[in-house]
Structure 1
């Protein structure tokens, strides 16, 4: 026991330089305005042949949600100093995108977006970068602390943080999984700190920690809710169960859990109340509100092929895109199972609450994406909101947390048999998954990559299991984990053409005038909608992320005859100018509505329409040519109304 305490104390001291390095790195990338955003796409340049700013590497076309929605919303908040200029036909999407529109509760719970208003005092590129990297900063600062608070060595928290941050799922989904777990980890860590201080008889500091914890945890059911359920709920539950099972008296337990829980419930209820219109719109949409899923088996290649996905940097997969194929390190399930077998004495239930809770959640979600539940599966509460493919993509993050807690239980000296068996098993599973990838999604993958990936996984498992008291195996494992994703995203300095181009500058000025007079704009080209959103132009076309504003849509479709076309969320509203033709509605994709309309007819239906942009010349009696703009290398005609 004394040796274990000494080891924990050493681990706590030794990572101070690493924490300082993380903070310094955050400051550096913020000052440089550096991100891995794909807003430098050629379609989001004024002249793709002469892009503004510096970008190292190519933008990722598959991350359209990021560069057409997530990042433009952030830039829009910075431009307006308030709510983003999503389509006025859409219901508010505050919860879906973690931004406040003026409500008291959401302003505090979605503090990360509230901070975007500091763009009035700081350069936009710095504010954008600070917001971009904030979840990663919290992950690396709080996850090792969370591990140590639960009795594990801090170094395993560092390994878990690297396995999460460097997973293909995090890279190919533009760090979404990090954002969906980081705030919960930070809130859980503050909850544990409050508990410890309450146990010491303190009152003021733990009360403040409980308040902050509750506010952070209140944001759990936001952003992308399916992954919030998969990732955030297990972390919070494990923390609460550990506190309840601890040997301390009941008073500090109830004070910590009660105060943080009460704050969390009040703020969560407040956010839901403030966003009841957007939630109602989303839940009543044709897509995705009515969608329910049942557990179903996913391909072995997808489940366990993450270490071999570096091949996607050179060639797109067949029959699927990079984001849909990317997963976390699900191979950690195999590793964890073998560790449980080889660890002879795990101790009492009280000592294993975190392992048991994380293991139970991890197995539930693994089952959801490996077993066919049939039609009855779609009626299982909470689980039915998560598509099995989505569970498959991130359940490996839970496995990574689990395996790191189990590695902490190993003695300082480990024999050869256990590490060798674990390494061989993980290498074989990885080799089979990589071979399956070659036979299905990545036919051009070289055999040398399959062999190299298998050997690398086996080597990492062996050295980390054989030498659990050493730091160098963790460094090597983290370095090798970065190989499959090192070139998945670009390194962008600044905001490129979305802020600095002549088109962006013009639209930003027009956006301010339109907002002041209650006017709106519209365009017939999706990338042009993006630059309008990013510069705060109120518009009819553009983003409809939660669902429709039914009252607004009825101005275009009075009898709601075409509601199936526009009653959709998570997507976009496109316009097509058809001079002299009656208005028509269609659906381009499950999340995209197309409105074909004469601009003069649209002006009659929506009197506050002030300007439109068209990808082709228009001749209509109500239009007055204003000027031409260039975007995506194309010339656009801007028209005002008589």
Structure 2
């Protein structure tokens, strides 16, 4: 036990030390390098390929987070065409009690924009803590269920560094996974604790971790991962014959703080939350069953090939689910034939155990575990039940009514993360506890491996455009993955260690080829435009800015200035009804607006673009109907010129591969304003 206890800390220590080193070196995996004028020659790009598909990270979430630090960590600030209540969002650090439940933001909270490298280190903390939390949360849950450090560590890395996590890096996948799984781990420890104080303390820790997952504010992953955790924790309680008194104690210690904190948050931020809930997207978005895709769910073996050949992805809907980019097509490490084998072995084990109990003679069949290792079947069954719920919702055309108002918040293509967690948990629980006679083992293993290759071949034909190399590589990776998982399941001690090492290597490679490694945040904090914006804010305080050149938008959002163009997280209905009346079907959404000057308009006209969450904002900036926006400055460029008769040219900057022109609103008296910054 003592040796297990020491070994159990190996993975957490390695990850935490690695996080500290990467943070100190100001390294992150953001694709912000793409915002520079020459990203391929940027010396701060240490490794890998920045991903254009991660535009919501480098164009929106990263600039907003950095901009909040530059603005002094306010709780309210103008982001787009609204004074945003940041407590009702999850993108930015702020000076608020809510930050107690956002540890990933703590590095940015203490960052000082005046100190060189401070913001970059704060952002690196934000990036790596999110990733590490995803791995350690899963590791803690697996260890709480069954203390096998090597197995738990291998599977935690397999989940936390899965292709789905790589292609969704920079958003809330790891937050939802790690902290909700960690809450499940704390709940399991509370159920295992005999002492009242210990069980209550574990329940309170579970509450804090669950609240951290809640404040990621992304229901699809929160709900789907929560389904797995609830079923698994219930299975643990059943297996361990936990009394109702202890269950109630842990449940109360977890639920009461969550209810109180969420209730206070809902009350304090009711206006913003109501505005978000009233939006068409995401507020009124509801899902029905059948929005997932088997080929996407089983796409992990194709990720390595697609990372080098992104153009091979087959886009579309229907059989392709919601696949319109590599992020949407990504998934977790899951093998359908291996999963089917695990379910069959679990069913056989339950039947054998039931027969042994009915005999009542205390004799246990040789192929079953020893009596002192019997408390696992309902835990495994809980994982299977959770997976059945998620897969049924993802793949079957179920009506919304069966979602019970909860699963309707989860599109089928957002269940893959939770399915991967359930698969890893099932494997962790069953390794070494199920046996097959040798004469049966090899045919079953061979059949499972062959089936894995065939299933991948079929799914890859739907996933990719016709490419024999991509198909062959995907099949090889799927076969290797199935062999490694079966080695963990049935192998001896040495074979299991070799299989674990090989599986970790496969996981690390599949993750590393997707994400870049970049030093600092130079393209949004250290460019000529960034310095100009900072100097202007120092000279006259933050003012309202609009850019007509989209490439300047993330730099503007990351500055101390108020970016009126670009992303609007949720609309101000009164403002929009005045600016673009009758167009609420377009502007009543979470939208990134590309602004364009159109002097023929009375005010504004919004045109939706093909990508959901983006629109073109055609506006007459000199119209009296637009004056109420109090826009002080406009940025144009040679690529995006505009006639602005009510603005005066006050500066020019060579940046972003073009010449940017800074325009300042002309005072009503007609005097030409002077530049506010050099």
Question: What TM-score results when the alignment is normalised by the length of structure 2?
Answer: 0.83
Which residue does 2:547 correspond to in 1? 523
Which residue does 2:358 correspond to in 1? none
SS at match of 2:283: coil
Cα distance in structure 2, aligned partners of 1:299 and 1:217: 29
Which residue does 2:180 correspond to in 1? 184
Deviations 1:9-67 (A, max 9, x none): 654333433332222211111111112111111xx115557646334222101111111
Cα distance in structure 1, aligned partners of 2:141 and 2:293: 33
Which residue does 2:63 correspond to in 1? 72
Q: CA deviation at 1:574?
A: 2.4
Q: Which aligned pairs between 1:181-220 and structure 2 lie closer than 5 A? A: 181-194=177-190, 196=192, 199-200=194-195, 203=197, 209-220=202-213
Which residue does 2:302 correspond to in 1? 308
The structure-2 alpha-carbon separation of the partners of 1:116 and 1:240, relative to structure 1 and needing over 3 Å to count, comes to farther
Q: CA deviation at 1:161?
A: 1.1
Count of aligned pairs: 620
Cα distance in structure 1, aligned partners of 2:301 and 2:204: 40
1:568 and 2:589 matched: yes
The structure-2 alpha-carbon separation of the partners of 1:481 and 1:628, relative to structure 1 and needing over 3 Å to count, comes to same
SS at match of 2:130: helix
Cα distance in structure 1, aligned partners of 2:563 and 2:526: 21
1:632 and 2:670 matched: no
Among residues 406, 415, 421, which one is paired with 1:382 in the alignment?
406
Which residue does 1:553 correspond to in 2? 576
Q: CA deviation at 1:112?
A: 2.4
The structure-2 alpha-carbon separation of the partners of 1:507 and 1:284, relative to structure 1 and needing over 3 Å to count, comes to same
1:341 and 2:344 matched: yes
Q: Which aligned pairs between 1:274-423 and structure 2 lie closer than 5 A? A: 274-296=268-290, 298-315=292-309, 316=311, 317-319=313-315, 320-331=324-335, 333-342=336-345, 345-346=349-350, 351-373=376-398, 375=399, 380-392=404-416, 395-407=419-431, 409-410=433-434, 415=438, 417-418=440-441, 421-422=444-445
SS at match of 1:561: coil
1:591 and 2:621 matched: no
Computing the radius of gyration from Cα coordinates, the structure with the larger value is 2
Cα distance in structure 1, aligned partners of 2:475 and 2:152: 29
The structure with higher relative contact order (CA 8 Å, sep 6+) is 1
Which residue does 2:153 correspond to in 1? 158
Q: Which moved more, 1:522-531 or 1:125-134?
A: 522-531
Q: Which moved more, 1:503-512 or 1:234-243?
A: 234-243
Cα distance in structure 1, aligned partners of 2:325 and 2:451: 26
Q: CA deviation at 1:396?
A: 2.6
Cα distance in structure 1, aligned partners of 2:246 and 2:291: 44
Deviations 1:607-631 (A, max 9, x none): 5322111234444332111212344
Q: CA deviation at 1:638?
A: 0.8
Which residue does 1:3 correspond to in 2? none
Q: Which aligned pairs between 1:101-180 and structure 2 lie closer than 5 A? A: 101-104=94-97, 106-120=98-112, 123-174=118-169, 176-180=172-176
Which residue does 2:627 correspond to in 1? 605
Which residue does 2:226 correspond to in 1? 232
The structure-2 alpha-carbon separation of the partners of 1:495 and 1:257, relative to structure 1 and needing over 3 Å to count, comes to same
Q: Please say if residues 137 and 180 of structure 2, whose CA atoms lie closer than 8 Å, have aligned partners that are also in contact.
A: no
Q: Which moved more, 1:497-506 or 1:79-88?
A: 79-88
The structure-2 alpha-carbon separation of the partners of 1:218 and 1:581, relative to structure 1 and needing over 3 Å to count, comes to same
Cα distance in structure 1, aligned partners of 2:538 and 2:209: 33
Q: Please say if residues 414 and 465 of structure 1, whose CA atoms lie closer than 8 Å, have aligned partners that are also in contact.
A: no
Q: Please say if residues 287 and 400 of structure 2, whose CA atoms lie closer than 8 Å, have aligned partners that are also in contact.
A: no
Q: Please say if residues 300 and 333 of structure 2, whose CA atoms lie closer than 8 Å, have aligned partners that are also in contact.
A: yes
The structure-2 alpha-carbon separation of the partners of 1:52 and 1:472, relative to structure 1 and needing over 3 Å to count, comes to closer
1:25 and 2:18 matched: yes
Deviations 1:585-615 (A, max 9, x none): 2222432232212222278533532211123
Cα distance in structure 2, aligned partners of 1:583 and 1:97: 32
Q: Which moved more, 1:30-39 or 1:266-275?
A: 266-275
Structure 2 residues without counterparts, runs of 5 or longer: 316-323, 355-373, 667-678
The structure-2 alpha-carbon separation of the partners of 1:313 and 1:140, relative to structure 1 and needing over 3 Å to count, comes to closer
Q: CA deviation at 1:219?
A: 3.7
The structure-2 alpha-carbon separation of the partners of 1:100 and 1:51, relative to structure 1 and needing over 3 Å to count, comes to closer
SS at match of 1:290: coil
Deviations 1:145-184 (A, max 9, x none): 3323223423332122111123211111116432211111
Q: Which moved more, 1:61-70 or 1:384-393?
A: 384-393
Question: What TM-score results when the alignment is normalised by the length of structure 1?
Answer: 0.87
Which residue does 1:475 correspond to in 2? 501
Which residue does 1:486 correspond to in 2? 512
Q: CA deviation at 1:82?
A: 1.2
SS at match of 2:562: coil
Cα distance in structure 2, aligned partners of 1:525 and 1:217: 41
Q: Please say if residues 419 and 461 of structure 1, whose CA atoms lie closer than 8 Å, have aligned partners that are also in contact.
A: no
Q: CA deviation at 1:538?
A: 1.0
SS at match of 2:632: strand
Structure 1 residues without counterparts, runs of 5 or longer: 1-5
Q: Which moved more, 1:582-591 or 1:158-167?
A: 582-591
The structure-2 alpha-carbon separation of the partners of 1:607 and 1:376, relative to structure 1 and needing over 3 Å to count, comes to closer
SS at match of 2:594: strand
Which residue does 2:481 correspond to in 1? 457
CA RMSD of aligned residues (A): 3.1
Q: Please say if residues 430 and 489 of structure 2, whose CA atoms lie closer than 8 Å, have aligned partners that are also in contact.
A: no
Deviations 1:552-588 (A, max 9, x none): 324424xx3222221112x312211123543232222
Which residue does 1:424 correspond to in 2? 447
Q: Please say if residues 30 and 130 of structure 1, whose CA atoms lie closer than 8 Å, have aligned partners that are also in contact.
A: yes
1:437 and 2:446 matched: no
Q: Please say if residues 164 and 178 of structure 1, whose CA atoms lie closer than 8 Å, have aligned partners that are also in contact.
A: no
Q: Please say if residues 195 and 256 of structure 1, whose CA atoms lie closer than 8 Å, have aligned partners that are also in contact.
A: yes
Q: Please say if residues 305 and 434 of structure 1, whose CA atoms lie closer than 8 Å, have aligned partners that are also in contact.
A: no
Q: Please say if residues 93 and 109 of structure 2, whose CA atoms lie closer than 8 Å, have aligned partners that are also in contact.
A: no
